[in-house]
Amino acid sequence: MSIKDWPAAERPRERLLANGAQSLSDAELLAVLLGGSGRRGLDAVAAARSLLGHHRSLRALLSAQRGACLAQPGIGTVGYCRLQAALELARRHFAEAMRSGPALDSPQATRNFLIARLRDTPHELFCCLHLDNRHRLIAYDELFRGTIDGASVHPREVVKQALERNAAAVILAHNHPSGIAEPSQADELITRRLREALQLVDIRVLDHLIVADNGCLSFAERGLI
């Protein structure tokens, strides 16, 4: 039976319009997003449940690489693009809300934002949150990709970007795809180098956060800054 044959009060789109998106299950939200009538023998909601069951969680589905997604029946190239577009829109909405929200003057105030951006990235990214003199977010920039060490993170580029953003302070961040949020000697060394370089132009380094699957570590809380 197609979803079109369901009673109106049970159809995901109608329920979303009547009660809001928060009233739908993960599978129902996926069915609305992906559209269509599912696949042979399954309606769209059942197909979405099958996708979630195969990937075992919503997070795993949304962070799956293209090949892994397309290998599972029920989602084609268009569906994969829709999922990635929805995820990126959510991240950008979060970033926009942060720019007009509370000041980022504590590690906890930035954790959720950085986890949403970095936790499921399969490669290392070095990022910088540029803040104004009230510690409100001006911009979030991903500056370097690859192993975080003295050869890949260039203090001159970090300083240049901070000056272009007219930042009064910055929060440094990068992810550990290994899943363990513990700083390496290279992490501590580059943090010191960046802090010294930014001090020369009167820009404060408030923190350096490492995002991993087991949490988000703060250099400030560890007494490393």
**Residue closest to 71 by CA, chosen among 80, 60, 83:** 80
- Helices marked H in 56-184: 58-63, 66-70, 77-99, 107-118, 155-164
Specify the amino acid at residue 142.
E
Residue 36 in 3-state DSSP? coil
Which two three-digit tokens encode residue 60? Answer: 């795993």
CATH 1.10.150 spans which residues of the chain? 3-88
CATH 3.40.140.10 spans which residues of the chain? 101-222
pTM of the full structure: 0.63
**Residue closest to 138 by CA, chosen among 161, 158, 115:** 161
Specify the amino acid at residue 121.
T
Task: Quickly name the fold that domain 3-88 has.
Answer: DNA polymerase; domain 1 (1.10.150)
Query: What pLDDT score was predicted for residue 150?
Result: 47
Count of CA atoms in the C-beta half-sphere (13 A) of 174: 24
Query: What pLDDT score was predicted for residue 172?
Result: 95
pLDDT in tens, 53-78: 888 887 777 777 777 776 666 677 88
pLDDT in tens, 91-150: 777 666 666 555 565 567 688 888 878 877 878 899 999 999 988 888 889 998 876 654
The correct CATH number of 101-222 out of 3.40.140.10, 3.10.180.10, 3.50.30.30, 3.90.1150.10 is: 3.40.140.10
1 pLDDT above the threshold of 60: no
